[in-house]
Structure formats: C-alpha cells, structure tokens
Structure 1
C-alpha cells in the first residue's frame, strides 16, 4: 500500500481504504509517531470530541459549497481526509509533515479540498469552512498551515490549522445543525487561537517514509504527491 501514486484522487479510493483495513487491520503504519504526506486520516477536535467531516450536502446560504461539519461517530467513512501538498510545493509520499508546512486536506469520498473564505458561517457567524474543487483540484483558498510545537506533526500532539489566505484557525464551537444533518456540529474558522481550534490525528492509513536512499523524491515518477 506504500506504492499509492496520487497526484490525483481516484474514485475507487474509499474501496481501497476498506481493502487496506480488511487485509492489514488498524495497525498499518501505527508504529509511525508522526503524520506523513500521503496519509489518509481522521482529525479529532479535542474540545468537542468530534471528527472533521464532509458529505455531498451543500450549504443553503453563504457560498453554497459543500458543507464541512464535525461528527461524534468514529466509524463514518466521510471523515477521512488525505494529506497533500499545494500547487506550489509537493508533499512527497511518506515525508513527515513539518510544523509550519502548508498543506491541503482533501476529502476522500468527494475529492473536494478543505477550504475557507470570507463568507459567514451559517450558525455562529464566524468564517465559513467548506469543501471545494473537483478531483482534488481547487485553488489557493484550500491551503492550511500546520501549527505545532516541534519540528514535525506528531500524531499524539494537539495541533492547529491556520488558513493561509485569511489567517483564521480551523475551529468548532459546538453549534449543532438541524435537518438534514441533525446533530452535526458547525466547523468554521476563527481569528484567535483557543481550545476550540485544537485537533489531533486519529484513525487512518499512515504512509511510511521511503526506504530509498534518496528518500521519496523520485522525479522520474511525477505523481508521487497524494
């Protein structure tokens, strides 16, 4: 499974994840103590105990783009996000994500990127967070900087995600939606750091670093970015 080449997001990836779980179990890559490029993870908001989630349901106001929420369910496949580089900086498969590095988080089941802009979020009137793009391609508003305390993003560490373009932090403050997504929490972005903006990597498939002496930067294979 370390040989996934994903400069694009194949539509069969959800089935592939199920195959990985069935064959290898939840222990695949669990010996890694850090998050790597190409990993597919769930992100838990530590304050509200909800996982970052999306689905093919659009906001009825604001941008009208695909909604992003927080859910308490642990096993929902709509909470998987792939860790990718930006259009300007590749994130080579298996490379540890550095503190201060800018990444994209792409929703596995729909191929849209975690996104923000100056639209107002529907419940709390903070900054809207949505999922945007097609097949993993979007724009510069999909870029988030990982804020953590050391040199790399450690899996046991609480981290923050700062939206590069607007300088706001990915957050949850507890507001709940009604139908058709009853009980799901609003995810939005806020200007200041707080307990509401702390996240931790949880379940997923963590790609191991390359065993090649030159690392994973093999330019003869241009699609090594996930």
Structure 2
C-alpha cells in the first residue's frame, strides 16, 4: 500500500489516515449506515464497476491538471477520498452528509480536490474532471452537490454528484486509456443524469456522529432533487 500523504490536514484527520494505513483491509464503523463529514471513502461507479481514482499523473491535453480516472482494482490507496466541507461551509466531523449538501472530495494521497471546468475530456470530449489545488485548498470549482433520494447520504444507496458551478454530473462512460495508465477508465462530467453517473460509497473509515449530534438530529424532510 502506498504511503498516505496527509500534511495538508488538521491533526485529528491525520490520526484518521494513520489508522487507514494500518487497517487497509478493514472498514471501521461498519454499523454506521450513513456517510459523514470527515469520512475517508472509496466511490464505486455502479454501471462500470470502477472506483474513483487519482494519482500524480497530469493530463497531456485540456487543463494539464492531475488526472482522475476509474480503476477496477479494489486494493489501491490512490482511490481514497476525504469528505469535507467547502471553503464557505464547515462540515463538522461525524455529521451525516445531507442530500442536497455541497461538499469537497479531497484525494488523500496528493491533497488535491475533485474538480471540473469547461475543458474537454481527452477521450470522450465530455467535460473534463481533474484533481486541483494544494494541501486540500483549491477554488469554487472543487464543489459538488450530493444528490440522493432521501434526507441524508446512506451508504447502501446510489447517489450522484453534481458539479455546483457547471451543473454537470460526475460520470463514467467506459472509454479506456492506453499507456501509461493502460486500462483505466476516463472519468468526466455530463449534463444529464444516466446510469453512468451513479456512485456508491464503498471501503473506508466512516466517522461516527457524536452523542450530542445523534440526539439532536432531525431528518424529517426528504429531498426530491435525485
């Protein structure tokens, strides 16, 4: 397993990632049924059975930023993403992520955020998705809105991620790269919802809500934007 680079994170999250490196094959908090702020997770595209992935390899066209792909390998540390709040909205650790909430997904090993913009993706000419920023900080193009069917993001359900600035959906349609990342799938963003844009939280560390949060939460108003 590759070394986790976590210098950009607060001390409490560094502790989480240290645990992740030791317990690679385990999923902590498996009884927790929702995705919470501060969790470190892998995301599976349900249509193509690939996990959202990044690495320090840049696109040779478009933005030239760090590439984001889909991989079939389950045990790859470059597929871990941290669920975080935005620069404007704090996301308290252990708080369930609500349907309709805007978040950032930060790539654990490189500290860059899942990002999109109006550059064309290299294979399909859809909207490019990249990883951008330094030490967890980028810009407003790193923000994604979670679309799900109820009130909070449940681990077992399929969700979509809509890019806040462009309104495109994080997607995979099956195009495969050649060398040097042979077999990895192109990840991009598309304007309309489809089976290609459905994702599910998989392996990782899921932060539990505190007792106070669990006692005071009220999830009585379902969202319908999914």
Counterpart-to-counterpart distance in 1, 2:12 and 2:187: 24
Q: Return the structure number with greater relative CO, CA threshold 8 A, min gap 6.
A: 1
Match of 1:180 in 2: 180
Match of 2:75 in 1: 75
Counterpart-to-counterpart distance in 1, 2:55 and 2:63: 16
Structural mapping, 1:92-107, within 5 Å? 92-107=92-107
Match of 1:142 in 2: 142
Cα distance, 1:194–1:8 mapped onto 2, change above 3 Å: farther
Contact 1:105 1:113 in 2 (8 A): yes
Counterpart-to-counterpart distance in 1, 2:213 and 2:93: 14
Cα distance, 1:55–1:27 mapped onto 2, change above 3 Å: closer
Match of 1:222 in 2: none
Q: Deviations over 1:39-90 (max 9, x none)?
A: 0000000000000000000000000000000000000000000000001101
Q: How many residues align?
A: 209
Cα distance, 1:51–1:145 mapped onto 2, change above 3 Å: same
Counterpart-to-counterpart distance in 2, 1:107 and 1:158: 21
Cα distance, 1:148–1:18 mapped onto 2, change above 3 Å: same
* Runs of at least 5 residues in structure 2 that lack an aligned partner in the other structure: 1-8, 217-226
Counterpart-to-counterpart distance in 2, 1:145 and 1:162: 5
Match of 1:17 in 2: 20
Structural mapping, 1:1-226, within 5 Å? 6-7=9-10, 15-19=18-22, 21=23, 26-212=26-212
Using structure 2 for the length normalisation, give the TM-score: 0.87
Secondary structure of the residue that 1:78 maps to in structure 2? Answer: helix
Cα distance, 1:14–1:177 mapped onto 2, change above 3 Å: farther
How far has the Cα of 1:17 moved from its partner? 1.4
Contact 1:8 1:135 in 2 (8 A): no
Q: RMSD in angstroms over aligned alpha carbons? A: 2.2
Higher mean C-alpha displacement, 28-37 vs 206-215: 206-215
Counterpart-to-counterpart distance in 1, 2:123 and 2:152: 34
Contact 1:14 1:109 in 2 (8 A): no
How far has the Cα of 1:18 moved from its partner? 1.4
Match of 1:3 in 2: none
How far has the Cα of 1:135 moved from its partner? 0.5
Contact 1:45 1:196 in 2 (8 A): yes
Counterpart-to-counterpart distance in 2, 1:30 and 1:188: 30
